[in-house]
Amino acid sequence: MVAAAPISRLRRYGSFRKEGVHVDDRLGLKPGKKFFEWARGTAMGKLRTGGDKFKVSLGESAAAEVQEALQGMKKELQSRSEELKQRLTFRIESRADFDARLKEKTTGMLLVPWGGDDDDEDRLQEETGVTLRCYPMQQDELPPDQVCPLTGKPSRIWAIFALAY
């Protein structure tokens, strides 16, 4: 069998198993059947990045090479995500800034010094379609006299708002 040689090398070296990676090396089953069996009983991930292809030797370093490649992809995705977050998050200082941002083609995420309550949030959603998405985990300090530009109440916390599509 053509597939037996590379699989026997994986068994012999076992580098994937040492790294905690399970290799489904059952012969005689088509990939679709294996995918179905794994997906049925577990949470399975398949990754297609669309990026450059790379070769991995099937020797002792195979698992380490795969782990290194995955770490590189993870760093690239995190970097792209952080860049997008920075580029598409807008600090709102006034109601005019807020309204102007909503008229833009790309609204993005709106960082607002929030002082409202649930009723204010509901009213804002009815008026504009904007919803409160989250409170950033890392909060910049609010000036003591900061007023919420959306409610006119004293601000308590930074909040991120966005349009739902």
SS3 per-residue string spanning the chain = CCCHHHHHHHHHHCHHHHCCCCCCCCCCCCHHHHHHHHHHHCCCCCCCCCCCCCCCCCCCCHHHHHHHHHHHHHHHHHHHHHHHHHHCEEECCCHHHHHHHHHCCCCCEEEEEECCCHHHHHHHHHHHCEEEEECCCCCCCCCCCCECCCCCCECCEEEEEEECC
Which residues are 89's β-sheet partners? Answer: 109
Kindly tell me if the per-residue pLDDT of 2 is higher than 50. Answer: no
What does the alpha-carbon distance between residue 8 and residue 12 come to, in Å, rounded to a whole number?
6
Q: 13, 60 in Cβ contact below 8 A?
A: yes
Domain layout of the chain by residue ranges: 4-85, 88-163
pLDDT score at 106? 87
Segment 116-161, tens digit of pLDDT: 999 999 999 999 999 999 999 998 899 889 999 999 999 999 999 9
Predicted local confidence at residue 70, as pLDDT:
82
Q: Identify which has the larger pLDDT, 54 or 120.
A: 120
Q: Which has more confidence, 151 or 60?
A: 151
Given this model, what pLDDT does residue 34 score? 80
On the question of pLDDT at 93 being above 80, the answer is yes
- What does CATH list as the number for 88-163? 3.30.110.30
Residue 13 has pLDDT above 50, yes or no: no
Share of the chain above pLDDT 90, in %: 48
Question: 100, 96, 83, 107: which is closest to 160 by C-alpha?
Answer: 107
Please measure the distance between the N-terminal and C-terminal CA atoms of the chain and give it in whole angstroms.
52
